[in-house]
Structure 1
Amino acid sequence: MFNLKALQKNRTVKYGIPMLLLVIGGSFGLREFTQIRYDAQKIKRRLDPSLEVRVNAQKQSVILEEEYEKLKEINLDEWKNIRGPRPWEDSKEYQKQQRSRLSKTD
C-alpha cells in the first residue's frame, strides 16, 4: 500500500511514463495512417490490365535506331514556330488565322 502511494506521488511515474507512451504510441499510430495513404495511392495508379499490356508492349518495341531514322527523314529547316492562343483568345479562330498566315507565306 505504501509503495503504491509513493509511486503515485513520483513525478516520473505521474508525467514521464504517460508522455513516453504517448510519443512512442503516436509514432506507431502515425506509421499505420501514413501506410494507408501510400497503399491507396498504389491502388489508384494501377492501370486496366489490357491497357497495361499495350503500354508495356509499346515501351519494349521502341528501338533507338528506328526513331533516329524517322527523325532524319523530317526536314527541320522549314518549320515555323506558331504561338498558341492566350487564355482570353478563341483558340479555333486563332488557329485559323495562324494557318492562313502560313499558307500565304509558302
Structure 2
Amino acid sequence: MFNLKALQKNKTVRYGVPMLLLVVGGSFGLQQFTQIRYDAQKIRRKLDPSLEAKVNMEKQSVVLEQEYEKMKETNLDEWRNVRGPRPWEESRQYQEQIRRNITAEN
C-alpha cells in the first residue's frame, strides 16, 4: 500500500513525528526529574522527632481565646504611635530625642 521510500521523503514524517516525540517524551522525562527534586527537598526539611514534637506542642498550646485575654489586659489608652528614623536621620540621636519627649510628657 504505502511505499517506505515515499514515507521517508515526507517532511511531516521525517521532521514532525520526531519533534512531537521529543516534546511529549521530554515532558514525561522532566516530570520524573522534578519529582526527584521535590522528594529530596521534603527529606531535607524533616525535623528531628523530638524537636518536631516540641513545635507541634507549641502550635497546639496557642489558642485564640488565650491571645484575646492577653490583648484585653493591655492598656491601649497609653499607647503611642512613634515613627522610626528616616534614612537620612541619625537613628541613635532620633531615638534619644523621642525618649526625652516621651519622658517629658509623662
Which bracket does the TM-score occupy, shorter chain normalised? Answer: 0.7 to 0.9
Per the normalisation by structure 1, the TM-score is 0.73
SS of the residue corresponding to residue 81 of structure 2 reads coil
* Count of aligned pairs: 105
Distance between the aligned counterparts of 2:64 and 2:44, measured in 1? 32
Tell me: higher relative CO, structure 1 or 2? Use CA pairs within 8 A at least 6 residues apart.
1
How much does 1:102 deviate?
0.7
Which structure: greater helix fraction? Answer: 1
Identity across matched positions, percent: 71
TM-score, structure 2 normalization = 0.73
CA distance in structure 2 between the aligned counterparts of 1:25 and 1:96, rounded to whole angstroms: 67
2:56 maps to 56
Q: Which amino acid aligns with 2:6?
A: A
Whole-Å separation in 2 of the counterparts to 1:88 and 1:45: 41
Match of 2:104 in 1: 104
Which 5+ residue runs of structure 2 have no aligned equivalent? none
CA RMSD, Structure 1 to Structure 2 (Å): 2.7
> CA 1:57 to 1:31, structure 2 compared with 1: closer, same or farther past 3 Å?
same
Q: Deviations over 1:49-101 (max 9, x none)?
A: 55433322111011232222221111101101110122333333322221221
The 1:71–1:42 alpha-carbon spacing in structure 2 relative to 1, beyond 3 Å, is: same
Per mean C-alpha deviation after superposition, the further-off stretch among 87-96 and 19-28 is 87-96
Measure, in 1, the Cα distance between the counterparts of 2:14 and 2:76: 78
User: What CA distance in whole angstroms lies between the structure 2 residues aligned with 1:61 and 1:38?
Assistant: 31
Amino acid paired to 1:100: R
